[in-house]
Every structure is written in structure tokens, then in C-alpha cells.
Amino acid sequence: MEEIRPTGITSLHADILETHILTRLDGPSLASLSCTSTTLNSLASQTYLWSHLFLSTWPSTATSPLLRHLISAFPDGGPRSFYSLCHSLPPSSSNIQTPSPIEKLISAVDINFGNDNIFSKVQETETVSGWFKCSPFRIDLLDPKETINTRIPQVDNDNTCDDFVNNMTLSWILIDPTRPSVMNISSFSPVSATRHWLSKEVQVRFATVLESKNEMVQCEIVVTCGGSENGEMQVREVSLEMEDMEGMHLNGKDSLVILERVIKMNGKRKGKGREEEAKRRYREYVEKKKERREKKIKREGILDMLSIAFAAGFLVFAAFWFIHF
């Protein structure tokens, strides 16, 4: 009787593996498979697989020839390295003291609702002008009157916000094309969603918390959606800003210093559990911001009481002096 020997995946023809298996895997699965054997590592490391995966994951990257060139020429593995960095959560802080200045930022943004891509755009932002450095840091992807139609049904009830929190995801890749360096500044899933009581617009917020000189700062992405005449939601605003613990918006110069440090150190923390870590940082940021605000109110209350007491004492002294002298 002929002995039946166990066979593994490597016994399959390379063409079958590449065409019918490897092209169907997501990034983490493809990376895990490459660690199992020398043969699979060679097959799973091919550039075209990661290029296809990158373009299918982030459709915005397919619209920019400059971006496609940067991805293909990226050091340490090209598209595979680029993909890994875009799935990494930026480090909360960096010990780099004098990073090289960023002359231009490229934003590659993709917004999904469920399995549908509802918005993709690549935008370049200059960072060297005096106007950029002195003005509040803000990147807007839509003009004031520009709207993006979606297939999201308009629902006029409180469940609308829950739908956005549960179904919307956002990727905001920031690229320094001169190094090149890259990081994904989004929390991927929303940290909150609120509905304006008058306009009925829904504001969906994504946030990543970073540190600068032991002070927390928040990179906040706001997606504003409103209803339309055809009964479906529209995207009306997509913007990125940075604020400190006092709720003050950072200017371009200060924001760029933080981004320069973090983008240089990106990749030290990998993508495993990044959404949970992003939300943990955000909760910590909100709590510390609340504690700081309460301390400030308490301190101001004490100062007000001292001022009132001083004023009352002065009036008593003035009255006593006027009566007796």
C-alpha cells in the first residue's frame, strides 16, 4: 500500500500561490505568511503584491504619480515598508531635539463607511511661508462650498451618531517627501460623533495624542456630514488641526516642530492594537484636560475670593479713615 505523505502549502505550484492565495491576503496575513519559510518569504515579499495591497487599502494613493513614485522608491522594502509605517501608531513622544525642517507635507486621506469608500484625496501643503508658520495649523481638504455625495442614508434620529461611530473609518497619511518619511495621524475609528441640534449636521472626530516637552497635544480630524435633498448624507468638511491642553490651537510653526519629531521616529510602534492604544491616549488626554480645567477654575475662584476680601477690607479701612479723620 502506497504511503500517503503529508503535504504543506509549499507543495503548491508558485503560480497558484501567487495568483489564488497571496493576492487575497491582507497586510498582516501576508506579513505573517512570509515568516513561515524561506520559500513563502520570497513569494510574499514581492513588490507587486504590496503595491496592489497598498493601492487597494488606500485608493487615494492611486491618484498621485508623485505618491506612487515615493512608495516605489521608499527605502527598506518599498511598498511593504510604506504599508507597515502607515499601519503604525505614531509614537507619543520623541527624543529628537533638532529634526530636519519639513518643507512640504503631503496628505493622503481615505474615508470609508462600511465597505464603501466615500472620499479619497491627496493634497500638498507648503510649510515654509510666514503665513503658514504664524497662522493656526489647519489643513482643509474641501472648499467652503464643496460637498461630496455619499450613499449613506439620512436618518433624523439620535441613532445617526452611533451609525457613524460604528461604520466610519478614516486614514490620514502624512508624508514628508524630502526624506521620505511617513506616518498615519488618524485613530482610524472615531473617538466621538456629535449631532448639532439646529443644523442636524454630524461631526465625526478622529484623534491622535502626541507629547511635546511633557505636554500633551491632540491632532484632531473632523469630518462634518449633513443631509441633502436626495435623502442621502453629504461630506461637507474634512480638516486637521492641533490643540494643546488649554484647548488652544497650535500655530503652523509649533505644530510642525512636533510633527517633525514624531514623523522621524514613526515605525517604532507597530500596528498591532493601534486603535485601542489611540483611544486609550485620547481618554487620558480628555481626563487630564478636564483635571487641568477644574484646577484652573478652582485657582481662579480662590483669586476672586482674595480680590473680594481685599476690596472689602479696603472699603472698611477707607470708611473708618473717613469717619475718624
The pTM (predicted TM-score) of the whole model is 0.82
Select the more confidently predicted residue: 318 or 169: 169
Mean pLDDT of the 64-85 span: 80
| Chain segment 237-263, per-residue pLDDT in tens | 999 999 988 889 999 999 988 888 887
d(C-alpha 97, C-alpha 319), whole Å: 60
Backbone angles phi, psi at 289, to 5 degrees: -65, -40
| Chain segment 95-141, per-residue pLDDT in tens | 555 556 788 899 999 999 998 999 999 999 999 999 999 999 999 99
d(C-alpha 315, C-alpha 317), whole Å: 5
At residue 267 the predicted structure's pLDDT band, cuts being 50, 70 and 90, is low
| Chain segment 8-49, per-residue pLDDT in tens | 555 555 666 766 677 777 777 777 777 777 777 777 778 778
pLDDT for the residue numbered 149: 93
Select the more confidently predicted residue: 14 or 153: 153
Question: Which residue's entry shows cell 487597494?
Answer: 56
Q: Is 314 exposed, middle or buried (0-12, 13-18, 19+ CB in 10 A)?
A: exposed
Cα 306 to Cα 69, 73, 131, 300, 312, distances in angstroms:
64, 65, 42, 10, 10
d(C-alpha 208, C-alpha 280), whole Å: 10
pLDDT for the residue numbered 188: 92
d(C-alpha 55, C-alpha 61), whole Å: 6
| Chain segment 189-242, per-residue pLDDT in tens | 999 999 888 888 999 999 999 876 677 899 999 999 998 888 899 999 999 999
